[in-house]
Amino acid sequence: MSEILFDHNAVAVALNSMSDNIQGAEIYLVGIQRGGASVADAIELRLGQRGASVSRGNLDISFYRDDLDTIGPNPEVRPSELPFEVSGKDIWLIDDVLYTGRTIRAAMDELFDYGRPASIRLAVLVDRGGRQLPIRADCAGLEHIAPANCTVDLKIGDTWTIEQRQVK
Amino acid sequence: MSAVDVVIRGGRVIDPANQVDEVCDLWITAGRIGGMGAFDGEAATMIDATGKIVCPGLIDMHVHLREPGQEWKEDIESGSRAAVAGGVTSMCCMPNTGPHIDHAGVALQIIARAQQVGLCDVHPIGAVTKNLDGKELTEMRELSRAGCVAFSDDGMPIWHAGVMRKALEYASSFGFMVIQHAEELNLTRGGAVNEGWVSTQLGVTGMPVEGEDSMIARDIMLARRIDARYHVAHISSKGAVDLVRAAQAEGLKVTTEAAPHHFALTEEEVLGFNVDAKMSPPLRTEADRLAVIEGLRDGTIDVIATDHAPHHEDDKRCGLSCAAFGIVGLETMLPVSLQLVRDGVLSMSDLLAKMTANPARLLGLDSGTLAAGSVADITLFDPDATWTVDRNKLVSKGKNTPWHGKEMTGQVTLTLKSGRIAYAEGEVCD
Amino acid sequence: MQSLHHLFGIADLDTDQVEYLINLGESFIDINHRPLKKAPTLRGKTIINLFFENSTRTRTSFELAGKRLSADVINISASTSATKKGESLLDTGQTLAAMQPHVLVLRHSVSGACEFLADYLGHTSIVNAGDGGHEHPTQILTDLLTLRCAGGFIGKTITIVGDIAHSRVARSHLLAARLMGYQVRLVAPKTLLPAEVERFGCEVFHEFDDAIPGSDVLYMLRVQTERLTDNCCFPSIREYHEAYGLNRKRLNAAAEGCLVMHPGPMNRGVEIATDVADSARALILDQVEHGVAIRMAVLTALCGGQQHLGRPGRSKQMVMEAMRGQGSLL
């Protein structure tokens, strides 16, 4: 059983407000594969309409996970692409759902393997609570405290929705 | 009529040497066959053989007992125990021991030790050449006087054509038989399995079938000129069977034997790098296997012999191409061979002849018969009983069997050596 | 998809597994281009490279693969004496396995060495880095990744030239071709072809020039010079180059997009002429580069989900049972 937490309109409003929070002369957006990359694309579009100069990159954090032993390698790894020099840059890390914080930790680890950024800030579409690490979003488009036995996912189709599904 | 010690009642007595195949009683007096028919007297031991086959103790004319020299692999005692567990009461041991059976002392020692053990007759096969190195002939006359029943360099071929010619000439002067391990080493060197699709898939050097066939062809030519007695050991290929058949048709004194693995298994057994299916000559193709069966059926192949080759775990534990050649066979000889009867290839009597009367005739042994007055070497088996081979329960010291975990049909239930129970109900009676 | 515990050869893989390993390898190519060539994927894993045959490049490739994924990698070059080969393999393998590595990368001159050793080891994963004339799976995965990056391999014709009889690379390609949908042509004299090799479903040629038209890849095998002449397999290196060497003239006779591959190390002027080896159509250095990525993928695939219980292999169990049977040793 899944339940729609936020419909397309709510998601669109959240993307707009996130874009408003991301300022600067040179903006470096790094999406986390796969959902985060789509969110970063949406934000890039909005920032571009405002005339901002945006550089885009994506990270696949499969090789930086801390749970290889238990789940095995991800069968579908997407390439990490950072077509700009990371060192000295102010980086916005973009993800769709912020939960335990482990993905963000892995993404920061990977980012540092490309260079030494001046700063890293985090923007997420939805913060669902349940953090296991001292990590918070600098910018969260939506907030919803989901029970631990539920997953929260961004569904991307003709419309974008955020759904909650109970798992065992 | 002297006192009867043992009576075997109600079994199907099959004695190929005397064309006997009937349900009757068989009795033993003073270690010898007293007679057969209906027995209605008193005896110290009565054995019920209902539903069993009673036949002469089996003869295995090709075994490696490893003593002297490699007693950790097998010795005369453990080999004798394995023999009676397989229904074998006479066997011929090959000379590739250390020292080799290339002088009378070793032959005498083996015979004496076997008598001491007292379970199974052991007839040594003398070496053809000293040190089995294919150069100088052994003192075959003296070896014969010491008890050697035939001559072979088995383990090694008599590879040198000139030496082989002289060996055949010399041996035939005195009626001795030369047994050849036919393998042209220049063709088989480095090989581990039959050359063909299996060796190609495994990426292992193969032993081409021509290695066996070419040497047999050569030997038959040499034997033809002098009418020598020539016996091909462990025949494994279609080409070899055809050569022997043609030689026999010509009237040459050429004979051969087949090992159960060569008519029961094919090279496919080696897939997965199974070291317990590695032997020389190797398991070959299905066409070869069927040719061996046809040879057994039409009488080209006179004898079934195991080439029982026990090895220690260490000699097999090293990957296929490094592992030692050979498998154990004494304890599985009869059930594996009985498949030929179930498949209609041979009658029970003809099959048993290849393990009793035929080898006895070839080697001049007085065993292999149930004629009144002969030594009471007798095997009882249930042709329908099933059991599963467990390598760890083999009596032999060698555990290298390709039949581990496989179900066998046909089980030896009792073995009598000179009228004494040597094996009964799964236990060797030392 | 069936998860992997060992990688013995292509024969043990299915299409999905090969596809998966190539995909995973492709995603690792990128890490090898980063300024900081390191990911923490295999942190805390121990990998032992146990090489009974010399091989600088395969060993280095595995070593870099492990190290770039943060594993602890140890190299052991064991020497083999001709007679005691097998024994020292078992003893060395068991000794090293007792030190609890996650992966043992094994190269050995005996075909089936990995299968053999795995029977005695418990939970250690074994990767075949070349066993005798049997298989060399990571080389084939490397080649397929290289071909994918160069335009794909499905439906292509790879022409393998040289000592097929002793080549584990050729054998693994023959198996992979059926699995992955490409064709293999073999080019060699009969002295260098194994028995009944056409049963793999390949075309066999004795004249190199006959096999060139229609080939998409010319795959040159390394000539083991001593092996070639010692066993009367070939009269001379000179004649070998004339008959089976890839020179500019032969390459010109091939289709325009025809590529050149070699598993290395090359004998320039023997199986391949220098100008061909250095030409733009040679993927030889791409193969080396992708070799690291594929080995990263293989190590990751074997370490991932590696939570099986330590259980002794089949043969070890048999030995233990036998000892228990004897009673005296336990």
Domain chopping of chain A, boundaries: 2-166
How far is the CA of C137 from the CAs of A101, B388, C220, C262, C295, in angstroms?
38, 38, 17, 15, 10
pLDDT at B320: 92
pLDDT at C16: 92
Q: Is the pLDDT of residue C311 over 80?
A: no
Instruction: Please answer yes or no on whether C116 and B273 come within 8 Å at the CB atom.
Output: yes
Task: Provide the pLDDT for residue C308.
Answer: 42
Q: What percent of chain A has pLDDT over 70?
A: 95
Query: Considering the domain boundaries, does residue C93 fall inside one?
Result: yes
Do residues C264 and C162 both lie within one domain? Answer: yes
What would be the CATH architecture of the domain defined by B6-54+376-428? Roll (2.30)
**A2-166: which CATH topology?**
Rossmann fold (3.40.50)
Those chains having 3 or more beta-carbon pairs within 8 angstroms of chain C are A, B
pLDDT band at residue C310, thresholds of 50, 70 and 90?
Answer: very low
pLDDT at C69 over 50: yes
Interface check B195 vs C, CB under 8 A = yes
Angle C15-29/C168-180 helices, nearest 10 degrees?
A: 110
**Tokens matching residue C188:** 């060699």
* CA–CA separation, C165 and C305 (whole Å): 37
pLDDT at C314: 58
What's the helix, strand, coil split of chain A in %, to 5? 30, 35, 35
For residue C86, the model assigns a pLDDT of 56
Domain that holds residue C126: 10-136+288-326
Q: What pLDDT score was predicted for residue C328?
A: 40
State the nearest Cα–Cα gap between B137 and chain C, in angstroms.
Answer: 29
Fill in the amino acid letter for A65: R
Burial group, residue C305, by CB count within 10 angstroms (0-12, 13-18, 19+): middle
The whole-angstrom distance between residue C14's C-alpha and the CA centroid of its chain comes to 17
Q: Is B307 a catalytic residue?
A: yes
- Beta-carbon contacts of A70 under 8 Å, excluding residues fewer than 6 positions away, are C305, C307
pLDDT (0 to 100) of residue A75: 63
Confidence of residue C54 (pLDDT cuts 50, 70, 90): confident
For residue C21, the domain's CATH number is: 3.40.50.1370
Chain A residues whose beta carbon lies within 8 Å of the beta carbon of residue C42:
68
> Six-digit token pair at B25?
């009683």
Q: Does A contact C via 3+ CB–CB distances below 8 Å?
A: yes
Chosen from C30, C148, C295, C307 to mutate, greatest number of chain A CBs within 10 A: C30
Tokens of B175: 């009626």
Domain count of chain C?
Answer: 2
pLDDT score at B314: 87
Q: Do A78 and C301 touch (CB under 8 A)?
A: no
A79-116 pLDDT per residue, tens: 778 889 999 999 999 999 999 999 999 999 989 888 89
Neighbours, chain A (3 or more CB pairs < 8 A): C
CA end-to-end distance (rounded Å), chain B? 30
Q: For the CA atoms of B196, B200, B201, B203, what is the dihedral angle to 10 degrees?
A: 140
- Tell me the three state secondary structure of residue A29: strand
* pLDDT for the residue C130: 96
User: Which A residues 101-120 touch C at CB under 8 Å?
Assistant: 109-110, 112-115
pLDDT at C142: 98
**How far, in Å, are C30, C252, C330 from residue C152 at the CA level?**
19, 22, 57
The arithmetic mean of pLDDT across residues A25-33, rounded, is 93
Radius of gyration of chain C from Cα atoms? 20
* CB C183 within 8 Å of CB C125: no
- Residue A140 is inside which H or E element, if any? strand A139-143
Dist. CA C114–CA C119, nearest whole Å: 9
| Architecture category of domain B58-363 in CATH | Alpha-Beta Barrel (3.20)
In a domain, C3, yes or no: no
> What pLDDT score does C319 carry?
55
Q: Hey, what are A95's tokens? A: 């993800």
Distance, in Å, from the CA atom of B71 to the CA atom of B74, rounded to the nearest integer, reads 5
The total number of residues shown for chain B amounts to 430
Q: Are C116 and B319 within 8 A, CB to CB?
A: yes
Which residues have C-beta within 8 Å of that of residue C330, sequence separation ≥ 6?
C323, C324
Q: Which segment of B298-307, B343-352, C114-123, C271-280 scores lowest on mean pLDDT?
A: C114-123
Q: What is the mean pLDDT of each run of 10 residues along chain B (430 residues)?
A: 87 97 96 94 93 98 97 97 98 97 97 97 98 96 98 96 97 97 95 96 96 98 96 98 98 98 97 95 98 98 98 89 95 98 98 98 97 97 97 96 97 97 92
Q: Are residues C124 and C161 in the same domain?
A: no
Name the segment(s) of chain B with CATH classification 2.30.40.10. 6-54+376-428
The answer on C65 and C102 residing in a single domain is yes
Could you say which of B15, B213, B288, B307 is catalytic?
Answer: B307
CA distance C328 to chain B (A): 14
**Beta strands C157-161; C183-187: pairing state:** parallel
Q: Confirm whether C172 is domain-assigned.
A: yes
* Between residues A158 and A69, the one the model is more confident about: A158
pLDDT averaged over every residue in chain C: 89
Share of chain C above pLDDT 90, in %: 70
Let me know if chains B and A touch, i.e. at least 3 Cβ pairs under 8 angstroms.
Answer: no
Is residue C1 one of the residues assigned to a domain?
no
Long-range contacts of A49-55 (CB under 8 A, 24+ apart): A50/A19, A52/A24, A52/A27, A53/A25, A53/A26, A53/A27, A54/A27, A54/A28, A54/A29, A55/A26, A55/A27, A55/A28, A55/A29, A55/A83, A55/A84
3-class DSSP state of B91: strand
264-323 in C: which are within 8 Å (CB) of A?
300-301, 303-307
Looking at the domain assignment, is residue C70 inside a domain?
Answer: yes
Show the CA angle centred on residue A62, arms to residues A58 and A64, nearest 5°.
95
- Same domain, residue pair C278 and C292: no
Torsion sign across C-alpha atoms B309, B204, C96, C20: negative
* Structure confidence at residue C318 (pLDDT): 57
Q: Which chain C residues contact residue B391 at CB under 8 A?
A: 318, 322
The C-alpha angle with vertex A92 and arms to A102 and A45, in degrees rounded to 5, equals 120
Residues C279-301 have a mean pLDDT of 96
What is the rounded CA–CA span in Å between residue C42 and residue A17? 39
Side-chain-side CA neighbours of C184 within 13 Å: the count stands at 28
Residue C12 to residues A70, B114, B218, C105, C121, Cα–Cα distance (Å) = 24, 49, 43, 17, 18
pLDDT score of C160: 98
Q: Is residue C144 part of a domain?
A: no
pLDDT digits (tens, 9 = 90+) for C145-166: 999 999 999 999 999 999 999 9
Calculate ∠ Cα C200-C205-C208, nearest 5°: 135
Which of the four pLDDT bands, split at 50, 70 and 90, describes residue A167?
Answer: confident
Q: Please report whether residue C146 resides in a domain.
A: no
In the predicted model, is pLDDT for residue A123 greater than 80?
yes
Beta-carbon separation of B392 and C89 below 8 A = no
Q: Which of C89, C194, C196 shows the shortest C-beta gap to B319?
A: C89
Residue C90 to residues B105, C94, C130, C222, C312, Cα–Cα distance (Å): 39, 6, 17, 29, 14
What is d(CA A94, CA A107) in angstroms, rounded to the nearest whole number?
A: 10
Same-domain pairing of C267 and C299: no
